[in-house]
Chain A
Amino acid sequence: MLEIKNLHASVSGKKILKGINLSVNAGEIHAIMGPNGAGKSTLASVLAGNPKFDITEGEVIFEGKNLLEASVEDRARAGLFLGFQYPVEIPGVSMANFMKLAVAERRKYQGLDPLTSSEFLKLMRDKSKVVELGGKLMGRAVNEGFSGGEKKRNEIFQMAMLDPKLAILDETDSGLDIDALRVVATGVTKLHRDDNATIVITHYQRLLDYIVPDFVHVLYNGQIIYTGTKELALKLEAEGYDWLINKTE
């Protein structure tokens, strides 16, 4: 589904990604871990198409198409979803209006008929239950007045609404209390199917108790230095990154 080949990216002239190679197939869950500054969020941003970053080398193929040529919105419409690390507040723009447009674009891309108003409202209601946000969402402006945990749950809500092929969750667990973590993680797991895939960027093992990864990659200094299984995450939690960095240098 996703093929990243020798990806190099920089921001304001500073090199961040220095040759990333990664393959993600349908049905897989990949975890990306690594110390701060390694380039985890940069990878997520670059895949999403954040214009702040410059691609200096490499290619990315998503669903058989050149991802790097596509605009931010086209990537999203094709089924790429980014769960933001710091979701913005957008006063004045209601979740309902926002999602209505987003869902319509996704469905148009997929060649599906648009939803009727009542079908859409039902979808909103059903999906908000997945993340236990319920009535809170309907009329509210995007993330306005939401706590950190609510914002993260709102990211998963949007993921549920858009049903992406590939979801990239950028530190979705940061700032969450135990209950919020459970809700978010359970939500993600419920959405996981054989025909979609998830990349989970995280520092902490605890999320991976819920969202069990097929592969764990360690990103350090702009490169994936090691790929292991879920046991690797446990070892990193216990021993830190140093042993691995020393091993691979």
Chain B
Amino acid sequence: MIKSTEDRLLELYFANLDIIGEGFPVGINSKRRDYIESFNLLGLPSRKNEGYRRTPVKCLFEKEWENYFIPIQTSNTTHNTESCSSSIKVNNGFIEDEYKWLLMDNGVAIGSIKSALEHMPDVVLEHLNSMAKSDTEPLTALNSAFMQDCVFVFIPREVNVEQPICVEYNYSAKDQQVMSFARMLVVAEDGADAKISITHKNIDGSFMVNFVKEVYVGERTTIEITEFSDMGENSVLLNNSYSAQMKQSKLSGVNIWLGGSVTRFNGVGSFNSTDSENRFYGLYVSEKEQIFDINTYMNHTVSDCRSFQQVKGIAGGDSIGAFTGRVYVATDAQRSDAVQQSKNLLMGDDARVYAEPQLEIYADDVKCSHGATVGQVSDDSIYYMRQRGLSEANARKLLMHGYINDIIMHCSIEHLCDEIISSVDSIVDRF
């Protein structure tokens, strides 16, 4: 009998259970059973699953990926962290030794979850896996079962962190094909204010990264996250991000997706209490045969919350860009204000874009709007600019910059914004 991909993953899990659970308390390890069972029941999503029509997940897992349960020797990377208040580097999902635990004077802590379990176990146990939906999302369940390390970022109450906290996920494996799990937990207590930058870079080798992020935003707290992924040509990034917001909090996220062969983002936002705001900005630029499958799910279960989503895409070559944005407004979620915009630019005859706004509204005193456009670069605009002396290339670049500016302008971490603009430019130049 041919083993299914799920069975092989289950075998892999059970064969390495000891090393996976090493260094974790019983409280964490005992729950892994639930996660792996959940994965077993749900199975890997295939194109038949509604939410996965564009991402060939099952096929991706069928490739020959290596699995490493210990950190492997990786290339040295130097990144610009001058403007960061603190930073942390992760290699193939494992936090590098020198970043295992850093406690700042203001009480901000950043490091590995294993260190966090020693220093502030209550915080970790309260929030880890509290937001991630392992019972309904198989990839999240798999990540939770296999979790060996996790970036932990803690901002204590009323602390305002001026400079951004920089988290770098680097993936490096020379010429191998590696499956990696990576994770992040952010806990921002009441009244905190911080900016976090997250990058996913593929130095060498091909990776399938299963990444889960949980962000807890306390009362009156403001968190801004800028996440930039730029994986290698043959790599896959499966990103499941979850957030929970307490009363009067503000969470804004700027997500830029580039590179990789398949990038799937699934962002689930929840309001636990009233009068909060969630702003989500996203941009993908695709070429060749890339697939970008962006999904957001905004949960308005309580009243008086505001959500705003603006996702833009530029699809060239034979690529596929997809945005599925679901906004759910519960019966009691009166005075919810939800705005969703999906704008997409097709750069060639063979690129395809799928834009699917979904509004599920059960309350009757709400403001919800959604809009989706798919179009091409305006020839008239290019001609107009050329008539003022701009070369066609510069005219196109100016147009593209203008197009993506709506998203990039929300990036508040300068060195990262510059890097993003330059990466996007080099792709746009190829169109």
> Which A residues have a C-beta under 8 Å from some C-beta of B?
48-51, 71-73, 76-77, 81-82, 84, 87-88, 90-94, 97-99, 101-102, 105-106, 109, 141-142, 158, 162
Q: List 22 A-B contacts (CB under 8 A).
A: A49-B386, A51-B383, A73-B386, A73-B389, A73-B390, A76-B388, A81-B387, A84-B387, A87-B384, A88-B378, A92-B401, A93-B381, A93-B402, A98-B390, A101-B389, A101-B394, A102-B385, A102-B390, A105-B390, A142-B384, A158-B388, A162-B388
Separation of A141 and B398 alpha carbons in the complex (Å): 12
Whole-angstrom distance between the Cβ of A240 and the nearest chain B Cβ: 33
Cα of A220 to Cα of B390 in the assembled complex, Å: 33
Closest Cβ of chain B to A51, distance in Å, is 8
| In the complex, chain B residues whose CB is within 8 Å of the CB of A98 | 385, 388, 390, 398
Task: Say whether, besides A73-B389, A73-B390, A76-B389, A141 and B383 are in contact (CB < 8 Å).
Answer: no
Smallest Cβ-Cβ distance to B402: which chain A residue: A92
Contact of B398 among A71, A84, A101 (CB under 8 A): A101
Interface: B399 (CB within 8 A): yes
Report the Cα distance A114→B78, complex, angstroms: 36
Closest residue of chain B to A90 (Cβ to Cβ) is: B381
CA distance A142 to B389 in the complex (A): 15
Residues A72 and B406 in contact, CB atoms below 8 Å apart: no
User: Would A92 and B388 count as touching, CB distance under 8 A?
Assistant: no
A51: chain B residues at CB < 8 Å are 383
Residues on A with C-beta less than 8 A from B96 are none
**Do residues B380 and A88 form an inter-chain contact, with CB atoms below 8 A?**
yes
For the complex formed, measure the closest distance between the CB of B396 and the CB atoms of chain A, giving whole angstroms: 11
A98 to B389 alpha-carbon distance, docked (Å): 10
Which partner residue on chain B sits nearest A74 by CB separation? Answer: B389
Residues A76 and B401 in contact, CB atoms below 8 Å apart: no
CA–CA, A206 and B389, complex, Å: 31
* A95–chain B nearest beta-carbon distance, Å: 11
Query: How many Å lie between the Cα of A78 and that of B405 in the bound state?
Result: 31
Instruction: Find chain B residues with CB under 8 A from A88 CB.
Output: 378, 380-381, 384
The reply to whether B398 and A77 form a contact with Cβ atoms under 8 Å apart is: no
Contact A102 B402 (CB under 8 A): no
Among A76, A91, A97, point to the contact of B387 (Cβ < 8 A).
A76
Q: Say yes or no: B381 contacts A48, CB within 8 Å.
A: no
A-B contact sample (16 more), CB < 8 A, given A72-B387, A81-B387, A97-B398: A73-B390, A76-B389, A88-B378, A90-B378, A90-B381, A90-B399, A92-B401, A93-B381, A93-B402, A94-B402, A101-B389, A102-B389, A102-B390, A105-B390, A109-B389, A141-B402
Which chain B residue lies CB-closest to A48?
A: B387
In the complex, whether B391 has a CB less than 8 A from a CB of chain A is yes
- The answer for the CA separation of A87 and B389 in the assembled complex, in Å, is 16
> In whole Å, how far is A220's beta carbon from the nearest beta carbon of chain B?
26
Contact across chains for B386 and A72 when beta carbons are under 8 A apart: yes
Residues 399-415 of B, flagged 1 when their CB comes within 8 A of A and 0 if not, give 10111011000000000
CA distance A105 to B389 in the complex (A): 6
Task: Check B383 against A91 for contact (C-beta < 8 Å).
Answer: no
Which of A51, A101, A142 has the most CB atoms of chain B within a 10 A radius of its CB?
A101
**Residues of chain B within 8 A of A76, CB atoms compared:** 386-389
Asked whether, in the complex, the Cβ of A92 is within 8 Å of the Cβ of B403, the reply is yes
Point out the residue from B388, B392, B394, B402 that lies within 8 Å of A91, measured CB to CB: B402
Output the least CB separation between A120 and chain B (Å): 15
**B406 and A92 contact, CB distance less than 8 A:** yes
Q: What separation, in Å, do the CA atoms of A134 and B235 have in the docked complex?
A: 51
| Interchain CA distance A72-B380 in the complex, whole Å | 13
* Bound complex: CA A109 to CA B406 (Å): 33
Chain B residues with Cβ under 8 A from A81's Cβ? 387
Which 4 A/B pairs are nearest by Cβ-Cβ distance?
A92-B402, A105-B389, A93-B402, A72-B386
Measured in the bound complex, the distance between the Cα atoms of B324 and A189 in whole Å is 55
Task: Report the Cα distance A105→B390, complex, angstroms.
Answer: 7
CB distance from A146 to the nearest CB of B (A): 14
Establish whether residues B385 and A90, one from each chain, have CB atoms under 8 Å apart when the complex forms: yes
Residues of A near B405 (CB, < 8 A) are: 92
The minimal Cβ–Cβ distance linking A249 to chain B, given in whole angstroms, is 35
Q: Shortest Cβ distance from B404 into chain A, in angstroms?
A: 8
**B378 to chain A: which residues have CB within 8 Å?**
88, 90
Contact of A93 (CB < 8 Å), options: B383, B389, B399: B399
| CB-CB under 8 A for A77 and B389, given A92-B402, A92-B403, A93-B398 | yes
Closest to A79 in B: B389
Q: Pick the contact of A72 from B381, B383, B394, B402 — CB < 8 Å?
A: B383
| Interface pair A90/B401, CB less than 8 Å apart | no
In the complex, are the beta carbons of B399 and A106 less than 8 A apart?
Answer: no
Report how far A98 CA is from B103 CA in the complex, Å. 47
Q: B389 near A106 (CB under 8 angstroms)? A: yes
CB-CB under 8 A from B394, the residues of chain A are 101
Binary flags per residue of B111-140, CB closer than 8 Å to A gives 1, else 0: 000000000000000000000000000000
Chain A residues with CB under 8 Å of B381's CB are 88, 90, 93
